[in-house]
Structure 1
Amino acid sequence: MNLIVWRGLFYKSWEHCKIEKQADMLAVESIIVGNHQGKIYNVSYVLKINAEWCVQEFEITSEIDGVTAVVLGKEQGEEWLINDQLRSEFRGLHYIDISVTPLTNSLPINNLHMAIGEQHVIDVLYIDILANDLKAVKQRYSRISKDQYLYENCDSDFSSIIQVDAKGIVKSYPGLFEVVAENVAK
C-alpha cells in the first residue's frame, strides 16, 4: 500500500491518497480539500484500475461551496457509462484525467511504458471537478528522461515537465502539485 500526500499549488489544496494492490488490480481512495478562486471544496474519489493502469470504474463525490455532486463512471468495453447513461462521445477513451489531482497523470505514464525519447498522443476523458464538466481531450506525453515526462495539452498551449518516482507516481508537477509526504506501508 502506498500513502501519498500532495499539495495543490494552483488549486490551493491538500490530497491524501491511498493506493492498494488487490489481486490483479489497484484500488485508489483519495480525499482532497481546498480553496480555489473563492470556492471552498472537498473531493473524494475511488478508482478501480486494472493491471495495465487503465481505470475500469470511478466514483467522484465533490462538495463545492456546500453543493454536492457525484460522478460515477464505468468502462464497458469501448464505452463509458456515466451516471448510468451511455455516453457515446467518450467511446474509445482509455484514460481519465481528474482536474484536481496529479494521480491520474500517472495512469498513461504507467500504461504506455515509453522509452526515453518516445511520445504518445492519447484521448482522455477530462473531468473538471470545479467547473462540473466532462469532455474528451487530446494529450501528449513524451518521456524525456528516466523520471521526467513532458505533458502537453493538445487543445491549448499548456505544457509542463512532470517528475515521477520509481513506480511512475507523480512527485512534482511544477506550478500545480508536489508530493509532501509518501509512505509505503506493508
Structure 2
Amino acid sequence: MPDTREVMWFRMADGPSLEQARLERQPDGATLSGTVLAAERGRPLRVDYAVTCDHRWRTVQVAVDQSFEGVLRSLRLGHDGAGAWTLDGRPAPSLDGCIDVDLGVSPITNALPVNRLALAVGETGSVRAAWVRFPALEVVPAEQSYERLGARLYRYRSRTSGFAAEIAVDADGLPTDYADIWRRVADRPGGGSGRG
C-alpha cells in the first residue's frame, strides 16, 4: 500500500499562485505530482506535473502538461539514473550529468536533492539539475547547491543565476517555507514514517 500525503502552497512573489501537490511513496521509489494555478504576467497559467523517482530519489521520468494563453503544451523527460536524459523521446545531451529535475513553477522538486543527498547538519552538496522554465517549457542544465543549516533548514543556491534562499522542510523533505516566495497553507499527512 503506498504512503500518500497531500500539501498545498501559496506563492507570494512574482504573481500569486496556488499549488496542490501529492507525494506517493512506494517500496521502489516515489512520485511527486500536482497542479499549479498561477497568474503569469496577468494571464492564467495551469501546470499539471508528475515526477517519478527511484528508491534513491533520482529522477526517472517527468511529465508536464501546461495550458497558457489558450495553448496546450506537453513536455516529457526520461532519465537513466546515471545522467543521460531524453526530451520528448529524443536524446538530450545538453542535460548530461543532471541527476535531479527542477520545476521552476513549484517548490516540490527541492525534496529530490534534500532526500537524495541526506546531508548532515553543516554539510553542503552540489547538484546539477534539469531546470524546466515556465511558461517557455525550456529545459536547461543548472548548477545548484544545498547546505543543511539545521535539522529541517537548508540554504539553496543557484550557481547558474546567483539566486539563494533558505528553505524550511518537513520530515519528508517537502518545503514548508521557501524564503518569501512559497508558504505551505494546507497539509494532509500520509501514513508511515518520514525522514528523520
TM-score by length of 1: 0.95
The letter for the 1-side match of 2:55 is A
The letter for the 2-side match of 1:117 is G
Identity %: 23
Q: Which residue pairs with 1:47 in the alignment?
A: 51
Residue pair 2:27, 2:55 contacting (<8 A) in 1 also: no
Cα distance in 1 for residues equivalent to 2:147 and 2:190: 31
Cα distance in 2 for residues equivalent to 1:40 and 1:159: 27
Q: How many aligned positions are there? A: 186
State how 1:159-178 maps to structure 2 within 5 Å. 159-178=164-183
The letter for the 2-side match of 1:8 is R
Q: What does the per-residue CA deviation read over 1:45-78, in whole Å, with 9 as the maximum and x for residues that have no partner?
A: 0111111111100100001121111010111243
Deviation of the 1:138 alpha carbon? 0.4
Q: Which residue pairs with 2:23 in the alignment?
A: 19
Q: Which residue pairs with 1:85 in the alignment?
A: 90
Deviation of the 1:132 alpha carbon? 2.4
SS at match of 1:140: strand
Residue of structure 2 aligned with 1:131, choices 112, 123, 136: 136
Residue of structure 2 aligned with 1:59, choices 44, 57, 63: 63
Deviation of the 1:120 alpha carbon? 1.5
What 5-or-longer segments of structure 1 have no aligned partner? none
Q: Which residue pairs with 1:5 in the alignment?
A: 8
Cα distance in 2 for residues equivalent to 1:132 and 1:22: 29
State how 1:68-147 maps to structure 2 within 5 Å. 68-76=72-80, 77-147=82-152
1:32 and 2:27 matched = no
SS at match of 2:143: strand
TM-score by length of 2: 0.90
SS at match of 1:155: coil
Q: What does the per-residue CA deviation read over 1:81-114, in whole Å, with 9 as the maximum and x for residues that have no partner?
A: 1101101111121011000110001110110011
Comparing 125-134 with 94-103, greater Cα deviation is found at 125-134
Q: What does the per-residue CA deviation read over 1:5-34, in whole Å, with 9 as the maximum and x for residues that have no partner?
A: 111222411111111123311122211111
Q: Which residue pairs with 2:194 in the alignment?
A: none
Cα distance in 2 for residues equivalent to 1:18 and 1:142: 25
Q: What does the per-residue CA deviation read over 1:119-165, in whole Å, with 9 as the maximum and x for residues that have no partner?
A: 11211100002232110010111111111100111122311100001
